[in-house]
Amino acid sequence: MAATEETPHEGWEGRYPGSWVALTGTLALRGIINPRVGIDLARTAWAFRRRRWWARFPWLPLPDLPYLRWRMYTAYGDEAAVPPAADVLRFARWRRETMHL
């Protein structure tokens, strides 16, 4: 059975291919093409920022690495996993619809 939107992980063996840099580039491009998606992604990224990010170098609102590893482990069973762009986009849309953002 081929993977569908309802079963995106069927047949998945190990980590998703790709890197965080490639994922960020893909999501940035999708956000530029579709402003609604861009707003959803920006809000999601802001929610994942490290607390008190301004107090530690590099002074950027980046995600907290232990938290991000935990999220990847709970979602994919591997703390080093890189999610596919479709999962991130689906999560950002779900977050907007559920939290009425």
9 or 16: which carries more pLDDT confidence? 16
- Residues 80-96: what's their mean pLDDT? 96
7 or 22: which carries more pLDDT confidence? 22
pLDDT at 3 over 50: no
The structural domain count of the chain equals 1
CA distance 79 to 41: 21
CA distance 79 to 81: 6
pLDDT > 70: percent of the chain? 83
Would residue 5 count as lying in a domain?
no
Would residue 89 count as lying in a domain?
yes
- Residue range of the domain that includes 83: 20-99
- For 64, residues 6+ apart whose C-beta sits below 8 A from its C-beta are 48, 49, 50, 51
pLDDT digits (tens, 9 = 90+) for 44-58: 999 999 999 999 898
Q: Are 39 and 33 a contacting pair, CB within 8 Å? A: no
